[in-house]
Chains A and B, each alone.
Chain A
């Protein structure tokens, strides 16, 4: 929390998208992207029950949080009828989610009771892919917050969305919803986890050298007020635990690891993903309005 006399004089954290009802948006982005990621991965393996799980995660939980976040949820339809999609990523995102949900639902209905169309599945997956990535673009567009204004953010969200989806798919295959796909999903997780690790490192380093505000944001995250959450929540729980599990499974085989260990690693991975998103929203700071002060102010936290 910035003191009122420091507001926009020093680095000022953004609040609207993380404090009070802003928490809803954090959860909305997470569940929308996790649901779409789950649909994307399970559609690749053709497991209908998991596709439905992803669809429900996206539509019911993600959509519910999105509506709960809005100041006027009863007016959300206005986004669909306006021409906002030409320039607004939130508007584009709603179109992507809407089209993904409609096409995905039709595909699942056809798969269950009639002949599914490949073209329909491809179209659903294209919008599913766009659903995963739009949140990153919505944040990347904001040039006042250097932590968000990075071209790597949409890629980071894309990888984390598909990674989360692969984890949910693996978890549900272990529970018996399509055991043959478990091995393949685990291979996806290995690659995506390593990709996520490398990307988050590059992302933080690149933001750190973008501007003084970017540097302050990264410092608050890894050294300041939120460092405990970063090192314990993101690095230890979200990365080290899943990494040890996938390394062990790589050398000993999937069958050698008890299902409980995999479930724990999956939960840790998802929790780490959730915390990363929280920290990116929480540590986003604005450049001070009074330019010369940027050189002399201390970093909050």
Chain B
């Protein structure tokens, strides 16, 4: 069985936000909506300041709490481990938004937001509304670029190795700090990295078993 997952090497990440921007671009996300974020925390006082950079996104948890709380089963976990939302089933109760301890879900409340308010949609936004329509009044989130993965597999490509079949945030990372692959395959690059570099999950105490690991 395949379980798509990601490894983020925090030692390589420089906090450039390429992942966040490429994700917005890939999915034509409206203003204010991010499926990938970069958290930056500064602690200490000059000259001993510590800066922590954590790129975060949906963890596609194996024991996803969002799947459990969804009253209409709009949120499901596919066989390949990707947690997806069926916009046609979502009633917009936002239980999943509140329940996600990683806060990686967004309620799409305003479908009319423009990047340049009052000046109409840009060509890019107009194309986005056709190619990647987000339904107002429903919950949206990262889908590990499931479309890219599916199309890539159809073409005989391998997600994580071939750019065309790999999530946008991974291929656009300029420092190559993101890795994508099958967590259930012990010989995959991600499994090897987790094993050798002692990859850790975010807040494992929640018991959600996230599919994103961090190398610190």
Q: Are A9 and B41 in contact (CB under 8 A)?
A: yes
Q: Are A8 and B103 in contact (CB under 8 A)?
A: yes
Q: Are A293 and B41 in contact (CB under 8 A)?
A: yes
The reply on A21 being an interface residue by CB < 8 A is yes
Q: Which A67-122 residues have C-beta < 8 A from chain B?
A: 69-73, 75-76, 78-79, 82-85, 87-91, 94
Q: Which residue of B lies closest to A17 (CB)?
A: B98
Residue numbers in A under 8 Å from B90 (CB-CB): 71-72, 75
Q: Are B109 and A20 in contact (CB under 8 A)?
A: yes
Residue numbers in B under 8 Å from A70 (CB-CB): 91-93, 137
Q: Are A8 and B43 in contact (CB under 8 A)?
A: no
Q: Are B52 and A292 in contact (CB under 8 A)?
A: yes
Q: When A9-B41, A70-B91, A71-B109 are in contact, do A287 and B203 touch as well, CB less than 8 Å?
A: yes
Q: Are A79 and B94 in contact (CB under 8 A)?
A: no
Q: Which residue of B lies closest to A22 (CB)?
A: B94
Chain A interface residue count, CB cutoff 8 Å, equals: 44
Residue numbers in A under 8 Å from B70 (CB-CB): 84, 88
The reply on A14 being an interface residue by CB < 8 A is yes
Q: Are A8 and B71 in contact (CB under 8 A)?
A: no
A76 interface neighbour in B37, B56, B91, B103, Cβ under 8 Å: B91
Docked complex Cα distance between A82 and B54 (Å): 37
**A120 smallest CB distance to B (angstroms):** 27
0/1 string, B64-97, CB within 8 A of A gives 1: 0100111111100000000000000111111101
Residue numbers in B under 8 Å from A75 (CB-CB): 72, 89-91
Q: When A79-B72, A82-B72, A87-B69 are in contact, do A144 and B101 touch as well, CB less than 8 Å?
A: yes
Q: Are B91 and A289 in contact (CB under 8 A)?
A: no
Residue numbers in B under 8 Å from A71 (CB-CB): 90-94, 107-109, 136-139
Q: Which A268-301 residues have C-beta < 8 A from chain B?
A: 286-287, 289-293, 296
Q: When A70-B92, A289-B203 are in contact, do A141 and B100 touch as well, CB less than 8 Å?
A: no
Q: Are B98 and A290 in contact (CB under 8 A)?
A: no
Q: Are B137 and A72 in contact (CB under 8 A)?
A: yes
The reply on B102 being an interface residue by CB < 8 A is yes
The reply on A250 being an interface residue by CB < 8 A is no
Q: Which residue of A lies closest to B135 (CB)?
A: A72
The reply on B131 being an interface residue by CB < 8 A is no
**A262 smallest CB distance to B (angstroms):** 38
Residues of A within 8 A of B (CB): 5, 7-9, 12, 14, 16-17, 20-22, 69-73, 75-76, 78-79, 82-85, 87-91, 94, 138, 141-145, 286-287, 289-293, 296
A selection of 22 A-B contacts at a CB cut-off of 8 Å is A5-B40, A8-B103, A9-B39, A9-B41, A12-B103, A71-B109, A71-B137, A72-B91, A76-B91, A78-B72, A79-B72, A88-B68, A89-B95, A90-B71, A94-B71, A138-B95, A143-B65, A144-B101, A144-B206, A145-B98, A289-B39, A289-B202
Residues of B within 8 A of A (CB): 37, 39-41, 43, 52, 54, 56, 65, 68-74, 89-95, 97-103, 107-109, 136-139, 202-203, 206
